[in-house]
Amino acid sequence: MIGRQLCATLLDYQPLELSLLDKDAVRLDEAMRILIAKSPQTNVRRLHLDITIAAEVAQAYESAAPDIVFHLASERSPVLAETKVREAILTNILGSKELAAQAARRGVDRFIYSSTGNVVLFMMNAFIPPPSATRKR
């Protein structure tokens, strides 16, 4: 929902291309319909994958070749994160780390991570180095 709202706002800037990435195919298809209707001139791309699978993330970066990445995928609810600990760690920490690492490897200009979840704040700072430490230019 937050990602779809961000994408709708980004379309106001008339990008040539916008790639949406989600592991939930139904949500992804719903977002695609809404965004294509809003901006038919923008090439809106669908990338259905799980950010916890490194090979899928690498393929997504290869096919999309983004200049900017907005990363919003996470389990934002502390209650759900505490009941689904493994999934929360895989997505919030390892998936986020893989997305950031691939962005650095591929020279992405900006990697913007946003989460409203309290469960992530400390872990992200502890496990993902700042972009200046991972960037190899």
Task: Encode pLDDT of 124-134 as tens digits.
Answer: 454 445 555 44
On whether the CB atoms of residues 62 and 79 are closer than 8 A, the answer is no
- Its pTM stands at 0.76
- Vertex 47 angle, CA 41 and 52, to 5°: 150
Task: Encode pLDDT of 1-53 as tens digits.
Answer: 678 888 989 999 999 999 999 988 999 999 999 999 999 999 999 999 999 99
Residues 6+ apart with CB under 8 A from 122: none
Average pLDDT, the chain: 83
